[in-house]
Amino acid sequence: MNLTGSKMKKLLLTGSFGLTLISILLGFLVGAIVLLIAGFNPLEAYWAIIKGVLSKPKYVSYVIIYATPLIITGLSVAFALRTGLFNIGAEGQFIVGAMAAAIAGYFIQLPILLHVPLCIFLAMSAGAVWGGIAGHIKARFGVHEVISTIMLNWIALYLSNWSLTLQMFGKQGTGKSHMIQETARIDLFGQWKITEAGIEFIRSHKVLGDILKSPVNLGIIFALLFAFLMWYILNKTTLGYELRAVGFNPDAAEYGGINVKKSIITSMSIAGSLAGAAGALQVMGVSHKIAKLAIMEGYGFDGIAVALIGNNTGPGSVFAGLLFGALKYGGAKIQDAVGAPTEVINIVVGTIILFIAMPKLIQVIFKSRKG
Amino acid sequence: MAAIDFSHIAVEMSGITKKFGDFVANEEINLTVHRGEVHALLGENGAGKTTLMNVLYGLLKPSTGTIKINGKSLNIFDPNIAIKNGIGMVHQHFMLVESFSVTENIVLGNESTKSFGILDTERAEEEVVHLSEQYGLTVDAKALIQDLSVGSQQRVEILKTLYRGANILILDEPTAVLTPQEIRELVAIISNLTKAGKSIIIITHKLNEIKQMADFCTIIRRGRHVDTVKVSEVTEEELAAKMVGREVSFKVAKEKQNPGEKILDIRELYVEDSRGVMVVNGLNLQLHKGEILGIAGVDGNGQTQLIETLTGLRKAKSGRIEVLGKNITNLSPGKIINKHKVSHIPEDRQKRGLVFEFDIAENMILESYFKPAFSKRFTLLRQNIYKNAATLIEKFDIRPQDATVQAKSLSGGNQQKMIIAREVSNEPELLVAAQPTRGLDVGAIEYVHQALVAQRNEGKAVLLVSFELDEVMNVSDRIAVIFEGKIVGVLDADDADEKEIGLLMAGGTA
Ligand SMILES: Nc1ncnc2c1ncn2[C@@H]1O[C@H](COP(=O)(O)OP(=O)(O)OP(=O)(O)O)[C@@H](O)[C@H]1O
Ligand SMILES: [Mg+2]
């Protein structure tokens, strides 16, 4: 007992896990100060978040739904970072993935067991191409991936918006695409929920019924699967060995006979395919369509913070994604509870995130500047 | 010796113990250094020298023990406290900001500012120039660190400690990275410093340097204090024996052996360095089975680029390299290692040789992770990987004997042993060894030399590149002298004479 106690203490104090916890606490503290300055009671506000996240099964379910794309874009950024690459492009990869899934989900007719995997596969391929381009540009011309991925983000955004202007795909005048086929959706009980029996079930079952009130879907299963796959690939396979070696010390990797340029492209492609999958799952499980984007939605950018908080590991990203989802979903509830305007809430949530992610972001930037 | 003020004890460390987990790196060590004294620390790789100095400098907190500086008991738990008390340290690996100027690096964290936090560059530069003239530490105050030689960078590190008012200087293996000329300059600098009443603690594996520079020498073995001796009263052999705990042979024993077929054939090789200057200029070289060929030369005559080209890390401009009759010119490192069986002990173990964040076992498979012994259908075979490491750790006496330790927490010498273990275990036809004994203790050097000779006796070829003429003359069968990117003479090691080689190295004709 004593031994595990002291081990625990050591882990908390010296390990990166402890650092993360401390930054999370600090983040909340500074968030509280912001609230105080704006004239609101931080305790009430935070209590509203906790209640808004945990007090009903439906809320928990919403948090998971919010968290799903963030976990996966987090994995995308984390995977690249483990190879020493800063994937700012998860945003764009997410967009092309969503677009690919929406197109494949609308135009192709297939039974569900084929249609769903096909959509995800195509979306991952699109994301892989998008990430791979950045990797290729870096390997070939030495252009830093941060620069190329930022540009690719904008190209993705305009490409997606342009696709909506096409007669056959966009619903004219709405700025939205047509809904994808039922067979391309991963909602759980989506159709059944609006039948008589479904409505009756929801009314009579307290917990399950409440959960079903949220758009439950299979996304989180995929997210967990991807987290496991990432852990497995990085730690158990020869590919992971190569990528980690390149990430830690490209000179030594080159010396050891590892093809560093190929590794960069591979890593960015895998990272891109993950972000692409996140976009697909969002379309297939939640929105069922894509819409015109005036600005970036921020899934990819949030993924950066998720990856940093999660220490670039699979399990870490799941944890951080959930934390993020909870803040995003629960944060909105401060408004009702203490009457703070959304702007203040966004500042508070932003501050918390900034505090959590900043120390690590600085580390990463310094590391990539040295390399 | 004349400079020592025995009435003034500058450093008194007593009963210092430092543990890393269960591992005891320092055990009850005592160290006394007087004002104006040069005190050498001697010990095998991993003996705990750097650890002890890190304790003195406040980078590590001792588990037990006390430290007195100039008679005052101190709790040094942070380098700032050490610096305030006049202690300065130049690390085994420099800690300079490459893109900053010399002056900026020296005043970093100690800026004399005008107002509003703006650095007063002119005044700072004046101070730096003044200090450097005072102690003969020649360096251009305006130059950027990245443009300086290793020797100059070291002078910057020393200036930095002096600028902060250091009276006690710790130098951790300062000569390991220096050329003979730079070492002579350092000796002069140290003498200037002690004359000014400064105390120096110096770590080095080179016994002749201890004889040359130090007044006293403390010997540490496996974390324990063995002895403190007056340097003028002991021989190099006695020092070596005290440190290793047995007699050490400085001569390499090897039977005469007739070389076999040609393994390496380099014809008219031209290579540019990173700045585009041609540094290998029509080089020709042949090497046979069962032969050690030493390349002697002053640093900067194209050795680095030659090795890089040979191992696929740099492209040749023109010329041809053959291994066992097959052309390997400008192939990828992977091909050269795996298909043509060339192993390489790199000159820079930090940069090339190791992945610091990997553990010992992972580092041991850097070139062979994909081979059937270590992976099956793209999955790493963890058990085999760690068993392999355990075997090599045992065979090459790598300490600590734990395959799961990260490479970065090993002492410099043990890191080098890891690389040698890996490269030799790859069973190469040709082993390219660049500065293979840099930073190694005499016992380990003996071991490495024996390993190179064993390769040769097995009928493999060894290309040894070293800036230390002693080493080249001692280990090689033949010696090729390189000057300005060309081989200017090849001699049989048996009848080679140091003067003759020295002359060739300087560009003269023998
Ligand atoms: N942070 C650390 N964690 C665990 N072990 C460590 C750590 N730092 C050093 N050690 C171990 O302590 C021992 C002493 O290391 P140290 O660096 O002091 O050796 P050294 O005498 O300077 O050797 P060298 O001549 O090779 O530089 C080594 O076995 C090393 O592996
Ligand atoms: Mg050391």
pLDDT in tens, B415-466: 999 999 999 999 999 999 999 998 888 888 888 899 999 999 999 999 999 9
CA distance A137 to chain B (A): 20
CATH top-level class for B259-341+429-510?
Answer: alpha beta
> What is the reported pLDDT for A4?
45
CA-based angle B323:B324:B327, to the nearest 5?
45
- Ligand number nearest CA of B441 is 1
Do residues B173 and B186 make contact, with C-beta atoms less than 8 angstroms apart?
A: no
Find the CB nearest B352 among A240, A245, A251.
Answer: A251
Q: B328-361, pLDDT tens digit by residue?
A: 999 999 999 999 999 999 988 888 999 999 999 9
Where do the H-state alpha helices sit in B332-441? 333-338, 360-364, 382-395, 412-425
Burial class of residue B236 (count of CB atoms within 10 Å of its CB; 0-12, 13-18, 19+): middle
Token pair listed for B483? 């000057």
Which tokens is A367 given?
């590391």
pLDDT (0 to 100) of residue B273: 87
Q: How many CA atoms lie within 13 A of A155 on its CB side?
A: 14
In the prediction, which pLDDT does A13 show? 41
| CA quadruple B357, B363, B368, B371: dihedral, nearest 10 | -80
Q: What separation in angstroms does the CA of B475 have from each of A82, A328, B262, B491?
A: 42, 68, 20, 13
Closest protein CA for atom 22 of ligand 1: B50
**B267-277 burial code (b ≥16 CB/10 A, e <16):** eebbbbbeeee
Q: Which residues of A touch B336 (CB under 8 A)?
A: 257
CA distance linking residue B415 with residue A277, whole number of Å = 42
CB contact set of B259 (below 8 Å; sequence gap of 6+): B288, B289, B290, B291, B477
Q: In testing the pocket of ligand 1, which one of B50, B54, B221, B397 has its CB within 8 Å of the most ligand atoms?
A: B50
Tokens of B257: 């052996």
Q: Which residues of B touch A248 (CB under 8 A)?
A: 355-358
Quick one: CA dihedral B381, B383, B389, B392, positive or negative?
A: negative
Dihedral over alpha carbons A184, A187, A192, A198 (to 10 degrees): -170
User: Can you list the domains of chain A with their CATH numbers?
Assistant: 60-321 (1.10.3470)
Structure-block tokens of residue B266: 């380099």
Closest chain B C-alpha to A132 CA, distance in angstroms: 22
Q: In the structure, which protein residues have their CB atom closer than 6 angstroms to any atom of ligand 1? A: B 20, 23, 25, 43, 45-51, 399-400, 409-414
What is the per-residue pLDDT for B338?
94
CA distance A70 to chain B (A): 28
Query: B5-244 sits in which CATH class?
Result: alpha beta
pLDDT in tens, B464-506: 999 888 899 999 999 999 999 999 999 999 888 888 888 888 8
- If pLDDT is split at 50, 70 and 90, which confidence band does B2 have? low
CB spacing of B369 vs A242 below 8 angstroms:
yes
Inter-residue contact A312 to A267 (CB < 8 Å): no
Amino acid A12: pLDDT:
42
In DSSP terms, which residues pair with B199 in a beta bridge? B168
Pick the residue from chain A with its C-alpha nearest to B368: A256
CB contact under 8 A, B337 and A257: yes
- Name the residue with higher pLDDT: A338 or B220: B220
**Residue A10: band (very low, low, confident or very high) from pLDDT cuts 50, 70, 90:** very low
Closest by Cβ to B313, choosing from A237, A240, A254: A254
* The 3-state secondary structure of A152-191, one letter per residue: HHHHHHHHHHHHCCCCCCEECCCCEECCCCHHHCCECCCC
Q: Which residues of B touch A239 (CB under 8 A)?
A: 378
Q: Is residue A370 a contact partner of residue A144, using CB atoms and an 8 Å limit?
A: no
β-strand pairing of B5-20 with B87-90: unpaired
Residue A252's alpha-carbon distances to A246, B346, B358, B434, in angstroms, are 8, 10, 11, 15
Contact yes or no for B154/B174 (Cβ under 8 A): yes
pLDDT beyond 80 at B93 = no
* B427, B439 Cβ separation under 8 angstroms: no
Report in angstroms the alpha-carbon separations of B200 from B154, B206, B227. 15, 17, 19
Which of B411, B418, B441, B442 maximizes ligand 1 atoms within 8 Å of its Cβ, making it the mutation to test the pocket? Answer: B411
Q: Which of A96, A157, A132 is nearest to A283 (CA)?
A: A96
Locus of tokens 């003759």: B500
Q: Would you give the distance in Å from CA B88 to the centre of its chain? A: 21
Question: A245: nearest CA in chain B?
Answer: B355
Q: Do B337 and A252 touch (CB under 8 A)?
A: no
What are the start-end ranges of the E strands in chain A? Answer: 170-171, 176-177
pLDDT-based confidence at B384, cuts 50/70/90? very high
Per-residue pLDDT at B146: 77
Distance B356 CA to ligand 1 centre (A): 14
Q: Which residue of A has its CA nearest to B375?
A: A238
**Alpha-carbon span A214 to A219, nearest angstrom:** 13
CA-based nearest residue in chain A for residue B343: A256
How far is Cα A105 from Cα B330, in angstroms, rounded to an integer? 49
Q: What is the pLDDT of residue A214?
A: 81
pLDDT in tens, A119-144: 999 999 999 999 999 999 999 998 99
Please tell me the total number of residues recorded for chain A in this structure: 371
User: Does the fold of domain B259-341+429-510 match that of domain B5-244?
Assistant: yes
**Domain map (residue ranges) of chain B:** 5-244, 259-341+429-510, 351-427
> Within an 8 Å CB–CB cutoff, is residue B409 touching chain A?
no
User: In chain B, which among 319-338 make CB contacts under 8 A with chain A?
Assistant: 332-338
Element (H, E) at B159: helix B150-163
Cβ-defined contact of B369 to A237 (cutoff 8 Å): no
pLDDT (tens digit, 9 = 90+) per residue, A220-258? 999 999 999 999 999 999 999 999 999 999 999 999 999
A301 three-state secondary structure: helix
Q: What is the ipTM of this complex?
A: 0.83
Q: How confident is the model at residue B111 (pLDDT cuts 50, 70, 90)?
A: low
